[in-house]
Amino acid sequence: MSNKSEYNGLRTLVIVLAIILAGVIGVYIYVVKDAPVFQFISRIVSAEDGADSIRSRRKDTAKPYKLTNNQRYSKDLVNKNNINILVIGPDETSSNYDTLMIVSLDDENNVIKFINLPRDIYIDYSDKFKSDLKKVWSSYTKSKGIYKINAAHLLGKKVNYLNGKGRFGNPEYDFTADLIEEIFNIYIDDFVYIKPSSFRKVVDYFDGVEIDVPYLMKYTDPTQNLEINIKKGLQTLDGKAAEGFVRYRQGTDEKGKYKSIGDIERKNNQVAFVKAFVEQHMNLKNLGKIITIFNDLDSYIETSVDAREAGEYGKIAEIFYKNKFTQENEQIDCKNETIDGIYYLKISQK
């Protein structure tokens, strides 16, 4: 995976956290924009629990048939009552998804779990689905990487999955959500699709992020217009430095020798950055900034959460903040495998 794609994925996650975890007041302001004040107030003081209201909207998944050959992940990742938001970030260089992140809200235990689905996960599609796909795209087998999860939405669009009458009214999102549910047993309540934007701008808008940099990060790549030079130690990173922190994978050490930390260590740094960002900036003292950036992001966010439904998430956010929520990161157990000359990740199965 390229430095650019890793950076895009992390950028997407940070922006989404700013929306989902903004806090009850910031989200409620968004509701006020599109509803009379008395309706807004009634939704806040309503005795109906936000999470219960979201769960009540769930519909039975109406798949026309099995999408895979009984492909099931080896364990359950979330409680069935968790509220699950699918965060989608596109790849700037193609039409595939670069980020597929599930933000799972456990309102019973006050835990927010992040589940990152690697883009190279192999999907073992059923013969029936392949047959339907062949009818509309006879040469699909010649397309490289077609069985990766990051291309699933394209296949859903090709077959016009559920004729656009699924839970989200869109073949791409409906197919992706149903596929995830079949494989990982996670019901997707809502999605947030975020178009490419400026990571640096978001970080600078919140006056940087304080973080303990574990080692010197020094790297230059003129082809990507990327220059990283961050000293080791506790410091506040501005937008440019923060971008370098989350993208750094290799470079030179203090003695000028080549150093590589690999993808796993880079992901650990990215998780550390996200946690620091949330802890330092998602609070009421930044309410004005949160409201402003929330409104700015509206122009390039596509989501199944409308203004009215945002109130339910606001109630959940209020509970999480009052009870000092904890965060967890779930890694998907995969192994490398080459199929027809294409690199894939095969999940551990039941």
- Asked whether residue 146 falls in the same domain as residue 79, the answer is yes
**DSSP letter (8 states) at residue 198:** -
Tens digits of per-residue pLDDT, 195-245?
A: 555 567 778 888 999 999 999 999 987 766 678 999 999 999 998 898 889
Q: Tokens for 93, please give them.
A: 């260089």
- Asked whether residue 184 falls in the same domain as residue 320, the answer is yes
Residue pair 122/346 in contact (Cβ under 8 Å)? The answer is yes
- Asked whether residue 263 falls in the same domain as residue 276, the answer is no
- Asked whether residue 191 falls in the same domain as residue 216, the answer is no
The residues pairing with 250 across neighbouring beta strands, listed in sequence order, are: 260
For 307-346, give one letter per residue: b (16+ CB within 10 A) or e.
Answer: eebbbbbbbbbbbbbeeebeeeeeebebeeeeeeeeebbb
For the chain, state the CA radius of gyration: 21
Residue pair 238/309 in contact (Cβ under 8 Å)? The answer is no
**DSSP letter (8 states) at residue 348:** P
- Of 121-125, 169-173, 244-248, least confident by mean pLDDT is 244-248
For 115-132, give one letter per residue: b (16+ CB within 10 A) or e.
Answer: bbbbbbbbbebbeebeeb
- Asked whether residue 300 falls in the same domain as residue 336, the answer is yes
Residue 224, CA atoms < 13 Å, CB-side half-sphere:
16
- Asked whether residue 230 falls in the same domain as residue 130, the answer is no
- Contacting residues for 127 by C-beta, under 8 A, at least 6 apart: 69
**DSSP letter (8 states) at residue 146:** T
- Asked whether residue 117 falls in the same domain as residue 261, the answer is no
- Asked whether residue 300 falls in the same domain as residue 320, the answer is yes
Among 220, 235, 268, residue at a domain's last position:
268
- Asked whether residue 171 falls in the same domain as residue 157, the answer is yes
pLDDT at residue 95, as a whole number: 79
Tens digits of per-residue pLDDT, 26-59?
A: 333 333 333 333 343 344 344 357 789 889 989 8
Mean pLDDT within 245-265: 85
Q: Tokens for 319, please give them.
A: 């509970």
Higher local confidence (pLDDT), 323 or 343: 343
Quickly list DSSP for 81-102. Answer: TSEEEEEEEE-TTSSSEEEEEE
Phi, psi at 211, each rounded to 5°: -155, 150
pLDDT at residue 297, as a whole number: 57
**DSSP letter (8 states) at residue 1:** -
pLDDT at residue 317, as a whole number: 73
Quickly list DSSP for 39-80. Answer: HHHHHHH-SS-HHHHHHHT------SS-SBSS--BSS--S-T
Among 247, 268, 289, residue at a domain's last position:
268
pLDDT at residue 13, as a whole number: 41
Beta strand 83-90 with 190-194 is parallel
Residue pair 67/85 in contact (Cβ under 8 Å)? The answer is no
pLDDT at residue 39, as a whole number: 40
Residue pair 8/100 in contact (Cβ under 8 Å)? The answer is no
- Asked whether residue 155 falls in the same domain as residue 304, the answer is yes
The residues pairing with 248 across neighbouring beta strands, listed in sequence order, are: none
Beta strand 111-116 with 326-330 is parallel
- Of 57-66, 136-145, 268-277, least confident by mean pLDDT is 268-277
Task: Tell me which residue range forms the domain holding 227.
Answer: 200-268
- Contacting residues for 277 by C-beta, under 8 A, at least 6 apart: 14, 17, 203, 206, 209
CATH, residue 277: 3.30.420.590
Domain count, the chain: 2
Percentage with pLDDT > 70 across the chain = 75
- Asked whether residue 168 falls in the same domain as residue 236, the answer is no
Q: Check: pTM over 0.95? Answer yes or no.
A: no
Among 238, 268, 298, residue at a domain's last position:
268
Q: Tokens for 182, please give them.
A: 């079949």
